[in-house]
Amino acid sequence: MIRSVKRSSALLFALMLTGCVVKQQTPAPVEPTQPTTPTQPEQPPTPPVPPPENVPQPPKLKTINWSASVQPLVANMVQSAGVNPGSVLLVDRIKNSTNGALQSDKATDAIQSALANNGKFTLVTSDQLAQAKQALGLSADDSLNSRSKAIGLARNVNAQYVLYSNAQGDVKSPTLQMQLMLVQTGEIIWSGNGIAQP
């Protein structure tokens, strides 16, 4: 036991000595450092971006001035000698015989507009035409390309005349042909041609 006390006292004495030695030390100097940006792993160079491809412009649709195209023909037809004032006229939808797509509805509307206040004809309305087509079992989109259909339809609406219109040739500059037909006899009493105006 004496040995353990001697060891403990020696240990205690050593501890006391270390606590008694107080030497004032100055702190180590701190050197300011500049912040650095973190380095990123090196990436392979990106290839240059090619300039955008020029997208071709869609072709411009050639528009036809239907009003200017049909007006001279209609004026000529109204002045023809064989037309009786006050007669009922059925305007057939224009037939497309060109080499492309044609705005047939716009062309037909232009013909009807040109004939609206002509002083000689009373036009069959679109409602009368639709009812007559239904009564005869024709589809609403039937363009009456058959003369017998048109005559039957004209008789159903009590029209004295039918106006046939046809666009033919190149779709960009078609030739217009119009024929005025007497319903009772099937006789063509007037015919006219003209080039469609851009």
Structure confidence by residue, pLDDT tens digits, 74-127: 999 988 877 888 899 998 888 888 998 888 889 889 999 999 888 889 999 888
In this predicted model, what pLDDT tens digit does every residue of 168-177 receive, in sequence order? 999 888 999 9
Helix, strand or coil for residue 188?
Answer: strand
| Cα angle: 132, vertex 88, 186; to 5 degrees | 80
Over 80: is that where the pLDDT of 140 sits?
Answer: no
Beta bridge partners of 182: 161
In angstroms, the CA 127 to CA 116 distance is 16
Output 177 or 130, whichever has higher pLDDT.
177
> What does the mean pLDDT of the chain come to?
79
> What is the CB neighbour count within 10 angstroms for residue 133?
19
- Rg (C-alpha) for the chain, rounded Å, is 49
Helix axes 126-135, 147-156, angle to 10 degrees: 110
Helix, strand or coil for residue 35?
Answer: coil
CA-based max dimension of the chain: 156
pTM of the predicted protein model: 0.65
Identify the helix (H) or strand (E) that includes residue 129: helix 126-135
Tokens representing 61 are 């649709």
Mean pLDDT within 66-73:
92
Residues in Cβ contact with 176 at an 8 Å cutoff, skipping those fewer than 6 apart: 69, 70, 73, 165, 166, 167, 193, 194, 195, 196
Mean pLDDT within 41-68:
72
- What residue ranges in 60-127 does DSSP mark as E strands? 87-91, 95-98, 121-123
- What residue ranges in 99-185 does DSSP mark as E strands? 121-123, 161-169, 175-182
